[in-house]
Structure 1
């Protein structure tokens, strides 16, 4: 997978989390095998256009409760109700949308699908015939998220 395909997602994730005063550390991207784990909360956004694939953004419920709290100006968030789930979907939408803007600056025309949110235990994702690039994202040194970028081979 070319760096031109990775960098827009790295820049976008950092930018979006900064908007909510959530400094993050983006870990070293690495290729992973399929199937891979989605942890407890997973958003899926399809990517279409010059390149086809998906972005999977997952983490523990506790991590997403912290993120949603920050998105809501610090209001306490204790459960993943409809409003909180909508915020998580919007977060994935913002990360992918910003990444698409970075791609367009490189002359790559892409679009995204509306996010799908999946909540459960031991979620397993299979990306058949696709390269899976896993990018760890650490918030506040306590919350680990995983962004998986999957492009068609």
Structure 2
């Protein structure tokens, strides 16, 4: 399968995964190509993947958005040390669900454990990257960044 076909499959699976994992109304905006470096402002989770294609998925957002998602899922505020822990778990849920969706379409991926990053961080070292902005019903955003290492 071509890289562009795989990228489209992964972006579509990411949308399906997000909308099934996160019980908040989401408005998925059109993806765009991004260049190095990608700069995060507050908090993100990075999960690498290998198999049919090699790259990373990054969920980049804010602590407030993490709290909103946590409250919608568990009925409680996400604060303190729980912010980083829940951010990693959210990444695991989204990436794991994404892999299950893709496997049904014939694209098998293995994922790495989540890496949570806080504060301003710049990401380098990717050949291609796509940003999928996701708007929550309250107007705040999270971004799904898909980096591709394969050519």
TM-score, reference length from structure 2: 0.88
Q: Is 2:140 aligned against 1:143?
A: yes
Equivalent in 22, 34, 58 of residue 56 of structure 1? 58
Contact 2:27–2:134 at 8 Å: present in 1 too?
yes
Whether 1:132 aligns to 2:129 is: yes
Q: SS state of the match for residue 113, structure 2?
A: coil
> TM-score, structure 1 length as denominator?
0.87
RMSD over equivalenced CA pairs, Å = 1.4
Secondary structure, aligned partner of 2:14: helix
**Any residues of structure 2 matched to 1:77-116 within 5 Å, and which?**
77=78, 79=79, 81-116=80-115
- Worse overlay, 56-65 or 94-103: 56-65
- What is the Cα deviation at residue 76 of structure 1? 3.1
The Cα offsets for residues 27-71 of structure 1, whole Å up to 9 and x where unpaired, read as 111111111122200100010112111001111222222222223
Aligned length: 145
Distance 2:117 2:56 in 1: 14
For 2:70 and 2:41, the matched residues in 1 are separated by: 17
SS class of match (1:5): helix
Q: Which runs of 5+ in 1 are unaligned?
A: none
Matched residues in 1 for 2:14 and 2:140: separation?
19
* Among 31, 34, 45, the residue aligned to 1:32: 34
Q: CA deviation at 1:106?
A: 1.2
1:107 Cα shift? Answer: 1.1
